[in-house]
Amino acid sequence: MTDMTLTIRRPDDWHVHFRDGAMLKAVAPHTAVQFGRAIVMPNLVPPVTTVKAASDYRERILAAVGEGVSFQPLMTCYLTDQAEADEIALGFEQGVFSAVKFYPAGATTNSDSGVTDIKKVYPVLERMQEIGMPLLVHGEVTDPTTDIFDREALYIERVLKPILNDFPTLKVVMEHITTKDAVDFVRSQADSGRLGATITPHHLVINRTDIFKGGINPHLYCLPIAKREVHRLALREAATSGEAQFFLGTDTAPHARHAKESGCGCAGIFSAMTALEIYTQVFDDEGALDKLEAFASLNGPAFYGMAPNEETVTLKRTDWSPQEFVTTEDGDPVRVFGSGETLAWKLV
């Protein structure tokens, strides 16, 4: 393989799960190595719904990352049926909240406190529209009669389109998109500049068949679940297109090995250690290394109204194999996405 390096502005991760306690301490430093900023998801137990809770959580994240590391956690507010517009607006004004996260109740890990009826939070969305605060949506319906592979496409029709129609200047990010339906819809709104989408590394490299190769692989189980190959290919084309509405969001979501390999395994893939390398490989495979900086480092800040990072990172084309697990101080191993494989790019 030809020796090659690639230098880009330091990227940001616009969708991260850090958890808390021992897990936070184990995983947060790995995101801080790769990324300058990260949008931190608020689905703790209890969820992050107040300015104080977000401020306290941010301090725990910074303590876990350690001194001397240039990293900024961007906090989000968990949207509930009882959300208070004044509290959310205060957090945004004070620079504590960067966005609000909308989980349909029961959609994913620790989402039981999520919104049960979108109409209940319309006053909050109205306030957010007035102050220019982004709404981040987990784009799946949770109707138990709906096939899990159809939940994203139906969400667009039943929930997202009405939100965009009823709040014509509200900025929205459709998180971790997994389907061609989502790619096409986001593109249909490109002229408005108010609908963005994050794309994960795992949805770029696995499809739903991979979950069942050689038996059920619980470490590839995530929500939204990986879809058919046609959808994976659509995501790769969108991510590598350079189009401004698509940007990097790993959705790195750590769970201890015993919680994944259980009778009722948890959804989530821990990619913080390998995300940038896997993204780079995808862009290399697609002949689009010249578009990586836009996707990883420029499009996200532009959508959020922030300046891109001034620092740079360098990746080298070289074969290497990631470690299999990260272990918390409690002794819980967390499987690293990409372990057991040979990756072709490494952050240096």
Write out the catalytic residue numbers. Answer: 251
Contacts of 264 (CB under 8 A, 6+ apart): none
Question: Is it true that the peptide bond before 47 is cis, omega within 30 degrees of 0?
Answer: no
Backbone angles phi, psi at 119, to 5 degrees: -65, -25
Structure tokens at 144: 């138990």
CA distances 195 to 87, 186, 307, 342, Å, are 24, 6, 19, 35
Structure tokens at 130: 């007035």
Inter-residue contact 124 to 78 (CB < 8 Å):
no
Is the Cα dihedral 197, 219, 284, 236 positive or negative?
Answer: negative
Contacts of 245 (CB under 8 A, 6+ apart): 186, 187, 189, 190, 193, 195, 196, 197, 299, 303
Contacts of 334 (CB under 8 A, 6+ apart): 23, 26, 27, 254, 255, 256, 257, 270, 325, 326, 327, 328
Strand order in the sheet with 13-16: 13-16, 37-40, 72-78, 97-102, 135-137, 172-174, 195-199, 246-248
